[in-house]
Amino acid sequence: MRILLKFVIDCDADAVWRALHSPRAVAELYGPLMEMTPVIPDGLPTSWESGTEVPVQLSLAGAIPMGRQIIAASDRFTEDANGPVRIFRDSGIPLTGPLSSLDVWDHQMAVAPAPGDPSKTLWRDRLVFGGPTAPALWPVLWTMWQWREARVKALAPSWAHDPELSAPDDATD
The answer as to whether 169 is a domain residue is: no
Other CB atoms closer than 10 Å to residue 90's CB: what's the count? 21
Please report which helix (H) or strand (E) contains residue 129, including its range: strand 117-130
Work out the average pLDDT over 36-46: 88
Instruction: Kindly report the CATH number assigned to the domain that includes residue 123.
Output: 3.30.530.20
The answer as to whether 173 is a domain residue is: no
Position 167 scores a pLDDT of 47
For the chain, what is the domain count?
Answer: 1
Q: Which domain holds residue 146?
A: 2-160
CA distance 90 to 108: 6
Work out the average pLDDT over 45-51: 92
The answer as to whether 54 is a domain residue is: yes
Q: Where residue 85 falls among pLDDT bands split at 50, 70, 90?
A: very high
The answer as to whether 136 is a domain residue is: yes
The answer as to whether 171 is a domain residue is: no
Work out the average pLDDT over 18-46: 88
Q: Give helix 23-30 / helix 134-159 axis angle, nearest 10°.
A: 120
CA distance 11 to 160: 6
Position 173 scores a pLDDT of 45
The answer as to whether 167 is a domain residue is: no
Work out the average pLDDT over 10-17: 96
Q: Is the pLDDT of residue 151 over 80?
A: yes
Q: Is the pLDDT of residue 141 over 80?
A: yes
Position 166 scores a pLDDT of 47
**Nearest partner of 96 among 136, 68, 117, judged by Cα:** 68
Q: Is the pLDDT of residue 21 over 50?
A: yes
Position 162 scores a pLDDT of 54
Work out the average pLDDT over 69-93: 93
Q: Is the pLDDT of residue 24 over 80?
A: yes
The answer as to whether 127 is a domain residue is: yes
The pLDDT tens digits for 91-138 are 999 999 989 999 999 999 999 999 999 999 999 999 999 999 999 999
Please report which helix (H) or strand (E) contains residue 145, including its range: helix 134-159
Which segment of 22-31, 50-59, 148-157, 158-167 scores lowest on mean pLDDT? 158-167
Q: Is the pLDDT of residue 47 over 50?
A: yes
Q: Is the pLDDT of residue 160 over 90?
A: no
CA distance 34 to 69: 13
